[in-house]
């Protein structure tokens, strides 16, 4: 082999690395099952658990009026099926009920409530919300505003709005929160498992010393990287297909986009996750630290900063820009767009380009680290 | 102190903090991440990209648009303002909602006494979709109210008081939970991997064949991680209180006690995990399989009220769930005894069960 040949990327050498890696995977049934079945199991399990539909929020009512009007007001709360109105026990003060985590809100109707309404005055009703859980409290406050408008019925008047708002919920007309959670959950779970997979396998090679051996052969760093990543990309794609089935047939999430685009964005995303694992393993070279780093740079950001649950638009501008560095944030956009909105290439241009750039950066980072390790 | 355990303690602690990268992972990263999450995250839906379709001369519609933008909930949609393909706007994410005025104009239909405004909402995010409608209803009601000052006020007025967190800051809700998450992450991984490594290298066998008793080995291998976890507690607590102004309405001893029981239970979880794992790799995958559900089923990120009945018992096996309830109750509500003791008791019970299982499995290896 001439030196020139050695410098160039050789597919054959990359392939032999890949072959070796495939053998590793097949020989180790633990990794294989883990990589293929874990994502679909986790997505299904947590898909059932994560549910943002609001219903049966416990509200304690202190009714000091005990009239027809006050009962009607309480019925307004229960009729939407969102709230369970429970009479407050006499022994506890309203605040105590919230202190003891018994309910999320207390409603206090003062005596004379019905009288005031009959006289055409405005009756004030006190409501205390548990702001310690500001998520639920915010939702309750939103509904209470709507209930206040509906409460004109208590005075025997038909609600008269000169302008009516007709809302059409597109892409998810029933506001089924599973449709929103599942595509996002798939991103989080497939991403973190892919990072773990490569972070571990390569860190183990460093610990065993077999990586040094590999580096002393004529194989170029890029060939090692390509050879290592290819089998795991295939494995990851397999798991994505399982997850896709679960989303479609277990949860009934529609898929309105193009499958080719889905495949493309999946490959791009898997590339970034696997490359991130590779970078971690090259930098740490030790399994324990690799694991800590994978969790801190992989699991937490993809859970918290990718728009999975906390909306990116609500972040301060600086942090919105910062999330652009995270591959899960882009795959999240692409995935939700493809599943629910039927987004096409024009609409997905930004996320796909971003994924491509992150891929290139991470891969060259890994290759560069490899190279510096090669030199004595 | 028992010299065997003292020896373990010195060895484990120096091993854990010898590597400077590990020191960073253990003591700097949790602080940085908590700061990041506290500053960045908000579960309030804001900055909704809204496009209003109206005639330039329609004054009421203009007022409505201005009101929307002034409310702080809405911002103007991005992209080409001449774009008339609404579906494309929503699909590309340039707009989250499109408000379409009646054809004759809002001003005119208002004077006639009835009219319809259409709101197209991108409901691919169901939570945001619902919020957009609620916000728009509120803004619209206000605009109408302003136009009809003589209309009688509604019969019922709710006076809402946000208790414990009057300005509804997300960080007050989130930061205490994230503290628990960080501590859980560090202790479980560290403990399980450290024992798994000894197994992998075969040094655990040596330990077992040494004159040290099983309980000494277990205590020696876990105590250091309890200490590391407890060092992290004041660090993250400092960030929570000094940087984010999370109030501390309860007693410090209550918090210290809860944190101690929590750290013990997550360390014993890590220990139990390691008795099942044969290698570090298995410990790590197992660690993920334990940690991810712990975080998801803790009520830290979203409430647990909607879990299907059949699996409602699962979160009760999660120490992090109890700790999340405890730390929020102590810091924000002053620590109610009716919440404190049952949750502490449950956490302690879990710790005892897990450490007993580990003990038995260790002894099993011996025979």
Work out the widest C-alpha separation in chain B, in whole angstroms: 94
Of the candidates B126, B163, B293, the beta carbon closest to that of A98 is on B163
- Considering only CB atoms, which chain A residues are within 8 Å of B116? 163-166
How many residues are given for chain A? 376
- Could you give the CA distance from residue A83 to residue A141 in angstroms, rounded to a whole number? 12
The H or E element spanning position B20 is: helix B20-23
- Could you give the CA distance from residue B140 to residue A161 in angstroms, rounded to a whole number? 10
Q: Pairing mode, if any, of strands B48-53 and B97-100?
A: parallel
Residue B161 lies in a domain: no
Interface of B with A in 320-359 (CB under 8 A): 325, 328-329, 332-334, 336, 338-339
For residue B362, give the nearest of B218, B186, B187 by alpha carbon.
Answer: B218
The verdict on a CB contact (< 8 Å) between A341 and B90 is yes
- Could you give the CA distance from residue A183 to residue A308 in angstroms, rounded to a whole number? 9
Residue B158 lies in a domain: no
| Amino acid A376: pLDDT | 45
**CB atoms inside a 10 Å sphere around CB B129:** 25
| Amino acid A143: pLDDT | 83
Between A345-374 and A259-284, two packed helices, what is the crossing angle to 10 degrees? Answer: 20
- Residue B337 burial (C-beta neighbours within 10 Å; 0-12, 13-18, 19+): exposed
| Amino acid B120: pLDDT | 93
The verdict on a CB contact (< 8 Å) between A310 and B41 is yes
- B177 shares a domain with B54: no
Q: Distance of CA B357 to CAs A268, A270, B362, Å?
A: 43, 38, 9
Residue B156 lies in a domain: no
**CB atoms inside a 10 Å sphere around CB A48:** 17
pLDDT tens digit sequence for B251-295: 999 999 999 999 999 999 999 998 888 887 778 778 888 888 898
- B334 shares a domain with B253: yes
The verdict on a CB contact (< 8 Å) between B157 and A123 is yes
pLDDT tens digit sequence for B225-255: 999 999 999 999 999 999 998 999 999 999 9
Q: Which of the 8 DSSP states describes residue A109?
A: E
- Tell me the nearest-neighbour CA distance from A38 into chain B, angstroms: 9
Mutation site, B25, B72, B125, B330, interface A, largest A CB count within 10 A: B125
What single string gives the DSSP state of each residue in B242-274?
IIT-----S-HHHHHHHHHHHHHHHHHHHHHHH
Q: Do A86 and A58 form a contact (C-beta atoms < 8 A)?
A: yes
Q: Which domain holds residue B94?
A: 48-147
The verdict on a CB contact (< 8 Å) between A193 and B117 is no
| Amino acid A7: pLDDT | 62
- B306 shares a domain with B216: yes
- Considering only CB atoms, which chain A residues are within 8 Å of B161? 126-129
- Considering only CB atoms, which chain A residues are within 8 Å of B294? none
- Could you give the CA distance from residue B285 to residue B279 in angstroms, rounded to a whole number? 10
Q: Which of the 8 DSSP states describes residue B239?
A: I
- Could you give the CA distance from residue A264 to residue A228 in angstroms, rounded to a whole number? 20
Mutation site, B232, B281, B327, B331, interface A, largest A CB count within 10 A: B281
Q: Locate B234 and state its tokens.
A: 């004041």
Q: Distance of CA B89 to CAs B121, B320, B367, Å?
A: 11, 42, 69
Of the candidates B88, B292, B308, the beta carbon closest to that of A48 is on B308
ipTM metric: 0.81
Confidence of residue B350 (pLDDT cuts 50, 70, 90): very high
Q: Do B89 and B77 form a contact (C-beta atoms < 8 A)?
A: yes
The verdict on a CB contact (< 8 Å) between B158 and A147 is yes
- B222 shares a domain with B179: yes
- For the entire predicted model, the pTM comes to 0.84
The verdict on a CB contact (< 8 Å) between A98 and B133 is no
| Amino acid A356: pLDDT | 96
Q: Between B63 and B18, name the one with better pLDDT.
A: B63
Of the candidates A49, A129, A144, the beta carbon closest to that of B296 is on A49
Residue B282 lies in a domain: yes
Q: Please count the structural domains in chain B.
A: 2
Residue of A nearest to B40 (CA): A315
- B92 shares a domain with B56: yes
Mutation site, A38, A81, A313, A336, interface B, largest B CB count within 10 A: A313
* Ramachandran category for residue B137: left, alpha or beta (phi over 0 → left; psi -120 to 50 → alpha): alpha
Q: Locate B157 and state its tokens.
A: 């007025």
The verdict on a CB contact (< 8 Å) between B126 and A98 is no
The verdict on a CB contact (< 8 Å) between B160 and A310 is no
- Could you give the CA distance from residue B164 to residue A242 in angstroms, rounded to a whole number? 44
Q: Do A165 and B119 form a contact (C-beta atoms < 8 A)?
A: yes
| Amino acid A347: pLDDT | 87
Residue B90 lies in a domain: yes
- Could you give the CA distance from residue B305 to residue A363 in angstroms, rounded to a whole number? 43
Residue B114 exposure: Cα atoms within 13 Å on the Cβ side: 2
- B246 shares a domain with B339: yes
- Residue A45 burial (C-beta neighbours within 10 Å; 0-12, 13-18, 19+): middle
- B63 shares a domain with B20: no
Mutation site, A162, A181, A336, interface B, largest B CB count within 10 A: A162
Q: Which of the 8 DSSP states describes residue B284?
A: H
- Could you give the CA distance from residue A40 to residue B22 in angstroms, rounded to a whole number? 33
Interface of B with A in 185-224 (CB under 8 A): 185-186, 189-190, 193-194, 197
Q: Locate A310 and state its tokens.
A: 């906390």
pLDDT tens digit sequence for B153-206: 677 788 888 888 888 888 888 889 888 988 998 888 888 888 888 888 888 778
| Amino acid B194: pLDDT | 83
Q: Distance of CA A127 to CAs A76, A135, B158, Å?
A: 15, 17, 7
- Could you give the CA distance from residue B121 to residue A170 in angstroms, rounded to a whole number? 6
Q: Do A336 and B90 form a contact (C-beta atoms < 8 A)?
A: no
- Tell me the nearest-neighbour CA distance from A217 into chain B, angstroms: 26
For residue B191, give the nearest of B265, B258, B268 by alpha carbon.
Answer: B268
The verdict on a CB contact (< 8 Å) between B137 and A131 is no
The verdict on a CB contact (< 8 Å) between B336 and A100 is yes
- Could you give the CA distance from residue A249 to residue A142 in angstroms, rounded to a whole number? 33
- Considering only CB atoms, which chain A residues are within 8 Å of B334? 99
For residue B268, give the nearest of B315, B198, B319, B309 by alpha carbon.
Answer: B319
- Considering only CB atoms, which chain A residues are within 8 Å of B144? 161-163
Q: Which of the 8 DSSP states describes residue A327?
A: H
- Could you give the CA distance from residue B37 to residue B171 in angstroms, rounded to a whole number? 8
Strand ranges for chain A from DSSP E: 57-63, 83-87, 105-109, 123-130, 163-170
- Considering only CB atoms, which chain A residues are within 8 Å of B92? 343, 346-347
The CATH number that applies at residue B124 is: 3.40.1710.10
- B324 shares a domain with B175: yes
Mutation site, B124, B156, B177, B302, interface A, largest A CB count within 10 A: B156
Angle at the Cα of A182 (from A178 to A186), degrees rounded to 5?
170
- B63 shares a domain with B33: no
CA A51 to the chain's CA centroid: 12
Sign, Cα dihedral of A71, A74, A79, A81: negative
- B325 shares a domain with B200: yes
* Averaged pLDDT of chain B: 86
| Amino acid A355: pLDDT | 96
Sign, Cα dihedral of B231, B12, B186, A295: positive
**CATH fold of A57-155:** abc type-2 transporter like fold (3.40.1710)
Q: Do A269 and A351 form a contact (C-beta atoms < 8 A)?
A: no
Residue of A nearest to B32 (CA): A296
- Considering only CB atoms, which chain B residues are within 8 Å of A34? 285
| Amino acid B100: pLDDT | 92
| Amino acid B96: pLDDT | 92
Q: Distance of CA B280 to CAs A52, A276, B202, B276, Å?
A: 36, 20, 12, 11
Confidence of residue B366 (pLDDT cuts 50, 70, 90): low
Residues of chain A with pLDDT under 50: 1, 376
Strand ranges for B89-218 from DSSP E: 97-100, 115-122, 156-163
Residue B244 lies in a domain: yes
- B298 shares a domain with B217: yes
B87 close to A (CB below 8 A): yes
- Tell me the nearest-neighbour CA distance from B250 into chain A, angstroms: 12
**Mean pLDDT score, B63-71:** 92
- Tell me the nearest-neighbour CA distance from B214 into chain A, angstroms: 24
B312 close to A (CB below 8 A): no
- Could you give the CA distance from residue A329 to residue A184 in angstroms, rounded to a whole number? 9
Residue B159 lies in a domain: no
| Amino acid B226: pLDDT | 93
Of the candidates A122, A180, A316, the beta carbon closest to that of B126 is on A180
Angle at the Cα of A148 (from B131 to B65), degrees rounded to 5?
50
Residue B157 lies in a domain: no
pLDDT tens digit sequence for A234-268: 989 999 999 999 999 999 999 999 999 999 999 99
Sign, Cα dihedral of B333, B339, B345, B348: negative
The verdict on a CB contact (< 8 Å) between A145 and B163 is no
- B52 shares a domain with B11: no
The domain spans of chain A are 10-50+176-374, 57-155
The verdict on a CB contact (< 8 Å) between B33 and A162 is no
**CB atoms inside a 10 Å sphere around CB B352:** 13
């Amino acid at each position: 082999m001439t030196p020139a040949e050695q410098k160039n990327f050789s597919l054959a050498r990359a392939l032999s690395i890949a072959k070796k890696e495939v053998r590793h995977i097949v020989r180790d049934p633990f990794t294989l099952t883990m990589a293929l079945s874990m994502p679909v199991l986790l997505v299904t399990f947590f898909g059932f658990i994560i549910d943002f539909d609001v219903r049966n929020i416990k509200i304690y009512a202190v009714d000091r009026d005990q009239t027809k009007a006050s009962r009607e007001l309480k019925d307004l709360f229960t009729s939407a099926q969102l709230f369970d109105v429970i009479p407050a026990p006499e022994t506890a003060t309203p605040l105590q009920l919230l202190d003891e985590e018994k309910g999320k809100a207390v409603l206090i109707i003062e005596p004379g409530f019905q009288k005031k309404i009959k006289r055409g005055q405005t009756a004030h009703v006190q409501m205390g919300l548990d702001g310690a859980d500001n998520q639920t409290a915010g939702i309750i406050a939103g509904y209470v505003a709507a209930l206040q408008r509906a409460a004109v019925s208590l005075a025997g008047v038909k609600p008269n709005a000169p302008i009516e708002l007709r809302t059409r919920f597109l892409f998810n007309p029933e506001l089924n929160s599973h449709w929103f959670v599942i595509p996002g959950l798939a991103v989080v779970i497939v991403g973190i498992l892919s990072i773990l997979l490569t972070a571990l396998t390569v860190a183990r090679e460093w610990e065993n010393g077999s990586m040094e051996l590999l580096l002393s052969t004529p194989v170029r760093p890029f060939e090692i990287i390509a050879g290592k990543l290819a089998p795991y990309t295939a494995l990851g794609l397999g798991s994505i297909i399982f997850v896709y089935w679960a989303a479609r047939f277990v949860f009934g999430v529609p898929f309105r986009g193009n499958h080719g685009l889905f495949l493309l964005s999946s490959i791009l995303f898997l590339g970034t996750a696997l490359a991130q694992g590779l970078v971690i393993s090259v930098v740490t070279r030790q399994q324990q630290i690799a694991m800590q780093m994978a969790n801190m740079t992989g699991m937490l950001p993809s859970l918290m900063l990718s728009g999975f649950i906390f909306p990116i638009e609500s972040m301060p501008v600086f942090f919105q820009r910062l999330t652009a560095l995270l591959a899960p944030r882009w795959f999240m956009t692409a995935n939700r767009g493809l599943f629910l909105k039927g987004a096409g290439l024009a609409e997905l241009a930004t996320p796909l380009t971003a994924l491509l750039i992150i891929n290139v950066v991470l891969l060259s980072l890994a290759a560069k680290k490899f190279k510096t390790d090669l030199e004595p | 102190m028992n010299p065997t355990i003292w020896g373990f303690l010195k060895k484990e602690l120096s091993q854990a903090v010898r590597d400077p990268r590990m020191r960073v992972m253990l003591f700097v990263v949790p602080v940085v991440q908590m700061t990041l999450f506290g500053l960045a995250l908000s579960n309030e839906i804001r900055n909704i990209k809204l496009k209003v379709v109206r005639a330039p001369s329609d004054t009421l519609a203009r007022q409505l648009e201005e009101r929307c933008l002034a409310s702080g909930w809405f911002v103007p949609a991005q992209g080409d303002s001449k774009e008339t393909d609404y579906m494309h706007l929503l699909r590309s994410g340039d707009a989250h909602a499109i408000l379409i005025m009646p054809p004759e104009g809002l001003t005119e239909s208002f004077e006639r006494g009835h009219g319809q405004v259409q709101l197209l909402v991108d409901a691919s995010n169901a939570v945001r979709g619902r919020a957009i409608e609620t916000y728009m209803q509120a803004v619209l009601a206000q605009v109408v109210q302003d136009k009809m000052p003589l209309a009688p006020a509604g019969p019922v007025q709710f006076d809402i008081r946000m208790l414990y967190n009057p300005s509804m800051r997300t960080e007050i809700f989130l930061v205490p939970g994230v503290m628990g998450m960080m501590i859980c992450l560090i202790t479980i991984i560290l403990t399980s991997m450290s024992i798994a490594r000894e197994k992998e290298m075969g040094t655990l066998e040596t330990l077992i064949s040494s004159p040290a008793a099983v309980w000494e080995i277990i205590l020696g291998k876990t105590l250091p991680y309890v200490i590391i976890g407890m060092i992290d507690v004041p660090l993250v607590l400092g960030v929570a209180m000094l940087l984010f102004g999370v109030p501390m309405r309860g007693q410090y001893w209550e918090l210290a006690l809860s944190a101690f029981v929590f750290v013990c239970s997550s360390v014993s979880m890590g220990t139990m995990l390691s008795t099942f794992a044969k290698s570090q790799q298995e410990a790590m995958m197992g660690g993920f399989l334990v940690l991810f559900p712990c975080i998801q089923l803790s009520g830290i990120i979203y409430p647990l009220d909607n879990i299907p009945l059949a699996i409602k018992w699962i979160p009760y096996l999660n120490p992090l769930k109890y700790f999340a309830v405890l730390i929020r109750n102590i810091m924000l509500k002053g620590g109610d005894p009716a919440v404190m003791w049952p949750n502490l008791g449950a956490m302690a019970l879990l710790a005892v069960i897990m450490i007993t299982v580990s003990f038995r499995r260790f002894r099993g290896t011996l025979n």
